[in-house]
Structure formats: structure tokens, C-alpha cells
Structure 1
Amino acid sequence: MVKQLFETNRLRIIPITTNDASFALTLMNSPKWIQFIGDRNVRTLKDAKAYIKEKALPQYKTYGYGNNVVIRKSDNEKLGTCGVYHREDKNQPDLGFAFLPPYEGKGYAFEATSKLIEVMRDTFGLHELSAYTLEENSASRKLLERLNFELKGTGILPTTNEELLHYHRKL
């Protein structure tokens, strides 16, 4: 598996591992994750480790990238995740992100995803990305628009039956 570290002025962005299971458990059970991303039935540390092994690690093995943990350099605090994902029924990989409530609205998501987009273009040679979000998730919509994603219509991901807004961006 490719292990890469990306940095910004304030953040380190590192591939998720099973060592991050406790953090993933907290994040995946936060109210906004449940509301906007969906309940993944991850209730225990064992569930979180299994989720990382089954969902995150195969992406790294296949593509060299996937889900990352965003860590603040000043105190090594884990703030959230951001990554680029390949879905079974989609032609283009998509950008995803989630942050714990205390770290929302502080520019961390923009900083991390901006760097990730740059790395996807410069290191992995991607030319375009999609992103999906619920219409009522105004914070994610605002971030995607700030990242120069354009609304293209709607779509459904394999993990949900809900209609999502489909955003797209050329890199």
C-alpha cells in the first residue's frame, strides 16, 4: 500500500489505517455524519476497524489513494477526513470529506480538500473529480462551490438510495 503524507501550513493529511479506528468510530457517529452521510452501523471499535479494512484499505491497494485523516500540526489533533473514492457504478472518482463538529467553520476542510485536489492532479494524474451531497447540506455545497465544483444534476451512490446533488470539476 502506498503511504503518502501531504501537508499544508496547518495540517497533515495521512492515509487512514486501523490505528484510526477510535477516531473513525467517533466521526461516523457524529450527528452530521449520520444526517448527511448516513448511518453505517459502526458502533464498536471492532466495527470501525472492520469498516476501515473493508472500505478504505482496498482503495489504497487498487488506486494508491483513498480516505485520509486530517490532523492539525500544532497539537496532533485528528479533525476529520477527506479523500477521493472510486464507486462501483461511477466513471469518475469523487471527493468526500467530514469533520468533527468542533472543527467545522474554521477553514480546515477547504485547506485539506484544496491540497488533496492538487495532489490528485499533480501526483496521480486525475483530470476531473465528482462530488455528491444532499441538497440540504448547505455547508458541503458551499465548500464544493468554493472549490470550483459545478452542480451538474443529481445522482445516487451505491451506499444510499437517496437522490444526491452531483457536482463536477475539471482539474
Structure 2
Amino acid sequence: MNIAFKTERLLIRFAQIADAAELVKLVNQANFIKYIGDKGIYTLDDAKKYIKDSFISAHKEHGFGPYIITLHDETVIGIVGFYQRATMQHPDLGFALKDGFEKKGYIFEAATILLNNRHKLGIKDVCAITSTANLGSQNVLYKLGFTEVGKAFINADKATIKVFIYD
């Protein structure tokens, strides 16, 4: 297991192809689809390709990307990381948890260690985006020290998102 960061309760590690089954569960949850979107990942092969294309290649290309969040017993509970989107000026912090692990402070804990170590990853400025309806994620961003700076459209579906910057 290739651990990038460790907190009191969590391991933040690089994704592995073996994470495919957990990724399929995460991205097909009702709240994930509602707030983040349908990623078109329905099979293990879809998930393996996504891990290669979005997790592993991001770290190779940018020096940062998404990570897998696990408890110390290695139970996969979600993802957190920095994403470099063509439509955004700065890398953005993104996160998602599997059902049953919300409202326990895990995202705050995982995001805090990433934000505190962003300079080691070559990141100075960080932004974040959420759907306008995702109040839970917005509250986490405010608690982390982000400030809402406006709204935007970044996807072909023209859904409005809120844009935040880390202060």
C-alpha cells in the first residue's frame, strides 16, 4: 500500500487497480450522481480504466491528483485530491465519501492534510467547486477556510456550480 499521507484516523493513499470495486460502489451512489454526476463507471473494467486515466495519470502528469481515503484498518471510505481541470485557473480540491461515512469529520481531516501539504505537491493556489445544492460540501469548504467567489458552468450540461478559493 502506497501511503501519501497519514492522519490520526485515516490513510490517504495512491489508487491501485484493486480499488476498482470500491470505486464502482462510490460513483454509483445516489448522492454522488446527484451532486457530482454520472461518471459512466458501471463495471470493474470501467473503474480500472478510470483509475488509470484519472488517478494514476494525473499524479504522473501534474505531480498531484486524487487519492483513496481509508481507515487505518484499510477500509476504503472515499476519495480526496486535487484536480487540474482545463476550465479552472487553479487545481481544485475534490472529495466524496461512501454512504455511511458522512458527518464524521473524515473529509475535513483528509482535506486538511492535503491543504497543509499542497506546497510539497507544487500547488500554491487552490479552488473548489460544488453543485449549488450540495450544502454539505459547501459547509466543509467554509470550515476548511474556503471563500465562495462566484458561480460558473464547466460541463456540457450547463449546470450552475459554486466556485470557492482557499484563503
Q: State if a TM-score over 0.5 links the two structures.
A: yes
- Paired residue secondary structure (2:20): helix
Is 19-28 or 153-162 further displaced after alignment? 153-162
Structure 1 Cα separation of the partners of residues 110 and 44 of structure 2: 26
Identical residues among aligned pairs (%): 31
Aligned residues: 166
Counterpart of 2:21 in structure 1 is 22
- Paired residue secondary structure (2:158): coil
**1:157 aligned partner, one-letter code:** I
Match of residue 119, structure 1, among 117, 120, 131? 117
- Paired residue secondary structure (1:90): coil
**Structure 1 unaligned spans of 5+:** none
- Paired residue secondary structure (1:136): coil
In the TM superposition, what is the alpha-carbon distance from 1:12 to its structure 2 partner? 0.4
Structure 1 runs of 4+ with >3 Å offset: none
RMSD of aligned alpha carbons: 1.4
Structure 1 Cα separation of the partners of residues 153 and 50 of structure 2: 21
Structure 2 Cα separation of the partners of residues 12 and 25 of structure 1: 20
Conserved? CA contact 2:22–2:76, under 8 Å? yes
Conserved? CA contact 2:7–2:113, under 8 Å? yes
Matched, 1:36 2:20: no
| Aligned pairs (5 A) from 1:57-96 | 57-73=56-72, 75-96=73-94
TM-score by length of 2: 0.94
Structure 1 Cα separation of the partners of residues 17 and 57 of structure 2: 13
**Structure 2 unaligned spans of 5+:** none
| Aligned pairs (5 A) from 1:126-137 | 126-137=123-134
TM-score by length of 1: 0.92
Matched, 1:145 2:142: yes
